Amino acid sequence: MMEFLVENKWAILVSLEVLAWSSTFFLLYARYGLKSDFWFKIATFLVIITGVIPQVLMGIINFISTGKLDLFTLIIVLLIIYGLTIGKQHVKKLDAWAQRKFSKNDENHRA
């Protein structure tokens, strides 16, 4: 299993990133579009299981397998640093955009 993960690490990482961002957009839609606590909680769970946790695990598995800090592990570290710093600001901007977008849709439906 570990061999499969290491052999396909780049494809897995890209897939996880796509899933994490898709989950983030779904989270915003659930929060502002659907206005559903249930779907917001599901989306939050999806963000957690597709975001940082699997990336960190992939980095650890890769490091254990190779025994060194290679490009893949460095990319994982940079993604985590991005998420903890600038990424937070980007998500806040995305959240504000989604809030405006869905509030405009609400206004258009009321008119």
Ranges of the chain with pLDDT below 50: none
pLDDT at 104: 79
pLDDT at 108: 62
The distance from CA 68 to its chain's CA centroid, rounded to whole angstroms, is 26
Domain map (residue ranges) of the chain: 2-104
Cα torsion angle, 29, 33, 34, 37, sign: positive
pTM (two decimals): 0.79
pLDDT at 2: 84
How many C-beta neighbours within 10 Å does residue 37 have? 10
pLDDT at 18: 94
Quick check: 95 and 28 in contact, CB under 8 A? yes
pLDDT at 97: 94
Residue type at 81? I
